[in-house]
Amino acid sequence: MSLESSPAAPVGVDAAPPAPPPITRSSSSTGHYSSTSMGQSTPISSSRKSELLMEARSARQKWLTNQDPSYDESGSSDGPLLLSKTSLGSEFSTSLEPFLDHLYGPLSTHHINNLTHLTLPSSNPLLSNPLPSESPSYSTLISNLSTPEASDICSSMMNFVEQFREKSEDLLKARASILESKRIAPFKYSDSSPPLNLEAESASKLINQYVTNLLPQISSSPPFSTSKPEDLEPLITMFLHRKLYGICEALTSDVQDDDNFAERLSELSFINFEHFDITCLQPPAEEERDSVASTESTGSREPRQDLWDVPLNTLRNISTLKSPIEKIQNILQTSSEITTALTSALPPGDLPGADDFLPAFILCILRSNPSNFKSSLSYIQSYMPHSMQISEEGYVLANVMSGVSFLENLDEGSLSISKEDFRLGVEKRRAEISSRIQKSKEKERSIMIEKLAVSAPPLRSPPSFPEITAREVRSARLSNTLPSRSNSYIPSSPPPPPPFPVKKRYSYISHTADTLGINDVEGLLREYKELVYTCERLVKEREEETRRRDKKEREDKRRQMEGELEGYDNE
Amino acid sequence: MRLKVVLLGEGRVGKTSILFRYIRNEFQEKQQSTLQASYMDKRIKVGSVDAQLSVWDTAGQERFHALGPIYYRDADGALLVYDITNSESFTKVRKWVKELRKIVGNDINIVIAGNKIDLERNRQVSEAEVLEYAKSVGASHFYTSAKQNLGLEECFNELATKMVAQNKAKFAGGVAGLGVPKGGKSKLVVVDDTGGGKKSGGGSCC
């Protein structure tokens, strides 16, 4: 019980997990138990008791192993949030994309798990495995938490997650307003002190405090008797971070900033190894440092392409990882892979120091241009354990931060490149980007026009669309051509009106099979998908709601029974 | 006790070699390829205190100069390396000292290492100048050779001893109140801000 009254969980203290004592008492007092208000309800029989216990246990297990539908951004509470967060453009479909990314994140995470296979030399037990969430110690934690002995711990964590969700609403609102004000009056980060993110800070504090309070109870629980508290702490923290990723991430992410940075990187993507004159990649020479211009003539070496691709691919996955530890481990791994790639270009026995490593790291960020990179970094900064700040994790994070800062502030003076070449490079890239945007815009527009054209006719007058017979369709399918419409019949009736008034946005609602062309398939499919996703979200919301209601009912019932029992005992 | 040390020095003064030589005690020999050469941990005993040094290598090129503060933050000590055969590399040391004092404050312990002492015959940086400067900014000075493994232990031991002493003082000071400056330290500091600046101005013309 002491758990619920921890500072991390000041609200809903009464929402305690089903506590064993009342149940035992109820079974002992079976004989004289008669209900007053709960008409049909009988004393809890032992079979009912075990049934309830089983139920609770399977719910816990589901929750622990993430089979719980509310896991992963918990469609209900975070879905709309994510939508609102990303709705920079007004188009629903564009804002839907990140939402889907989040929704289907776990799939991609699995994908990466298969890809990442390099291990890192590190003293941290969490980091000695490809992914901390895949480590044996983590799975042991999960299986220990699923044991009946750990049920109160597990319920406490479930409660915490629930309460955190409720509490986070205010934080999220505050965050949204900050982002809004930033959009109106953008400010530039100063290199040395990124602005404190108070919302994330307090979220992080909540989680850490909770874990600290929980730790003594966990270590005294039988399933964990063999584990050391200092080993358990990072694991539990990671578990909670994975559970709360949607909220925690929303508190640190800034889509606008991410987009700007990604655009900046693509503008700069002409930059290459030669522009950094990385010492270790230059031919061994006795010449002085200032003979910088000679790199072109001597030609700088580059790391082996196949080895160089490895860190690029690793870093690209950073936004799919769902805890600070996993994200920072991704950066550690990237670093080690860069070192490997650089070493390949060095004479045997030589190792790249920071002079060589940092430029290579900067190029790695530039080349891989990971999605939502800046958000990922501020997520790490806000939630990473303080103990990591001095150690290697802190060091690699400093490298990334300086890399980002360098890329943001870079101009022709920062590189071994002539002013003219730099300007040309940027301009060329800009032209390429804008032509690409232009193209995609044109494509979008043509789709829109098509859509309008298609949806317009039924509104004006019933057009005389030719009908195609089944036989014609079949023969066309066999010959792999489109059935011709010219030699077909006139449709007998206009398409039926929809059963209720609909918004004009559903461009296909007034169509019949006859009026749809092959060109409509794309649009139709898009609208269909939108529909499915919206439905899914609504269904999830409803499930969540039902679950919440059920839980409340159960609790009410229990409390009532407890009350009655107490009454009996007093008599 | 965990202590953070930043390693500063212009490109090619041999920072990486020093780091490697000291921590792995090997110099460009049979090194494993996957090791991170720009960050290293080393356990060290200072009196009765077990200290763990986390040494952060930094990129010394001028183009990365502005990024320094990201690395200095929360550092307990700094090892500034110059090449005795390259006077410009010593000018850089002056610049870094100023910057460290400005950004990290007076609490950071500084040790200056004149590397490549095995190339004494090509020396370009005068010993008198260096020693006077080091004294003026409250830094210790050592000659090192990563190649011949000279002076490295002394260098890091001195830095660690200073850092440990300061950390202890900090803890003690924290209990007594917020009076951070401890006798010796604060004296060094005053000299640094005035004398150090002037000296570096005068010295750079050599």
| pLDDT on residue A35 | 41
Least confident of A14-23, A368-377, B150-159: A14-23
What are the tens digits of pLDDT across the range B27-72? 544 444 345 778 888 888 888 889 999 999 999 888 899 999 999 8
A330: number of CA atoms within 13 Å, CB side?
28
pLDDT above 90: residue B96: yes
Question: What pLDDT digit, counting tens, does each position of A125-152 carry?
Answer: 344 445 677 778 888 888 888 888 888 8
At A171 the three-state DSSP class reads: helix
Residue A352: C-alpha distances to residues B14, B16, B89, B94 (Å):
11, 8, 20, 26
Q: State whether B38 and A353 contact (CB < 8 Å).
A: yes
Number of H helices, E strands in chain A: 20, 0
Chain-chain contact of A395 with B2 (C-beta, under 8 angstroms):
no
The residue among A505 and A520 whose pLDDT is bigger is A520
Does the model's ipTM exceed the 0.85 cut?
Answer: no
- Amino acid, res. A381: Q
Q: What pLDDT was estimated at residue A217?
A: 87
The strand pair at B109-115 and B140-143 is best described as parallel
B70 closest CB neighbour out of A357, A390, A402: A402
Three-state helix/strand/coil letters over A67-90? CCCCCCCHHHHHHHHHHHHHCCCC
Task: Quickly tell me which residue has 């930059």 as its tokens.
Answer: A271
Lowest mean pLDDT among A216-230, A297-311, A538-552: A297-311
Q: Which of A287, A289, A335, A391 is the best substitution to test chain B (most B C-beta atoms within 10 A)?
A: A289
pLDDT value at A74 more than 60: no
Query: What does the pLDDT read at residue B80?
Result: 95
Taking CB atoms within 8 Å and a gap of at least 24, the contacts of A424-432 are: A425/A268, A425/A270, A425/A271, A426/A267, A426/A268, A426/A270, A428/A270, A429/A266, A429/A267, A429/A268, A429/A269, A429/A270, A430/A267
Give the model's pLDDT for residue A280.
61
| Pairwise CA distance, residues A327 & A331, whole Å | 7
pLDDT at A44: 73
Two structure tokens written together for A482: 């489109």
> In the predicted model, is pLDDT for residue B16 greater than 90?
no
Instruction: Give backbone dihedrals phi and psi of A329, rounded to 5 degrees, phi first.
Output: -70, -30
Q: Determine how many CB atoms are found less than 10 A away from the CB of residue B178.
A: 6
Query: Which range is least confidently modeled, A384-398, A476-490, B177-191?
Result: B177-191
Tokens of A80: 């709309």
Residues of chain A by 3-state class (helix, strand, coil), percent to 5: 70, 0, 30
**CB within 8 Å: B15 and A352:** no
Q: Spell out the alpha helix ranges (H) of A87-228.
A: 92-103, 105-115, 136-145, 151-184, 198-220
* The two three-digit tokens of residue A8, written as one number: 């991390």
**DSSP output for chain B:** -EEEEEEEE-TTSSHHHHHHHHHT--SSSS--TT--SSEEEEEEEETTEEEEEEEEE---SGGGGGGHHHHHTT-SEEEEEEETT-HHHHHHHHHHHHHHHHHT-TT-EEEEEEE-GGGGGG--S-HHHHHHHHHHTT-EEEE-BTTTTBSHHHHHHHHHHHHHHHHHHHHHHHHH-S----HHHHHHHHHIIIIIHHHHHHHTT-
Angstrom CA distances, A385 to A137, A380, B71, B142, stand at 18, 9, 18, 36
Classified as helix, coil or strand, A467 is: strand
User: In the prediction, which pLDDT does A379 show?
Assistant: 92
- CA-nearest residue to A193 within chain B is B70
Chain B residues with beta carbon closer than 8 angstroms to that of A391: 2, 41, 54
Residue B117: per-residue pLDDT? 92
| Cross-chain Cβ contact A354/B16 below 8 Å | yes
Best mutation target among B19, B63, B88 (most A Cβ atoms within 10 Å) is: B63
pLDDT band at A32 (very low <50, low <70, confident <90, very high): very low
CB contact under 8 Å between A402 and B71, yes or no, is yes
User: Which range among A258-267, A336-345, B130-139 shows the weakest confidence by mean pLDDT?
Assistant: A336-345
pLDDT digits (tens, 9 = 90+) for A417-438: 888 888 888 888 888 888 888 8
pLDDT at residue number A558: 87
The closest of A390, A232, A198, A240 to A324, measured between CA atoms, is A240
For residue A95, pLDDT over 90 is answered with no
Average pLDDT on A382-401 reads: 89
User: What DSSP line would sit under A439-465, residue for residue?
Assistant: HHHHHHHHHHHHHHHHHHHHHSS---P
* pLDDT per position as a tens digit, A229-249: 888 888 888 999 998 898 888
Q: What are phi and psi of A570, to 5 degrees?
A: -65, -35
Pairing of strands B109-115, B49-57: unpaired
Test A409 with B41 for CB contact under 8 angstroms.
Answer: no
pLDDT tops 50 at residue A13? no
Residue B122, chain A, CB below 8 Å: the answer is no
Residue A500 pLDDT grade (very low, low, confident, very high; cuts 50, 70, 90): low
Nearest to A322 by CA among A259, A239, A400, A212: A239
Please state which of the ranges A376-385, A461-470, A499-508 shows the lowest mean pLDDT. Answer: A461-470
| Half-sphere exposure of residue B168: CA atoms within 13 angstroms, side-chain side | 12
Quick check: B59 and A358 in contact, CB under 8 A? yes
Segment B148-173, tens digit of pLDDT: 888 999 999 999 999 999 888 877 76
> Hunting for tokens 């110099």 — which residue is that?
B27
**Predicted local distance difference test score (pLDDT) of residue A51:** 86
Question: In this structure, are residues A335 and A399 in contact, taking their beta carbons and an 8 Å threshold?
Answer: yes
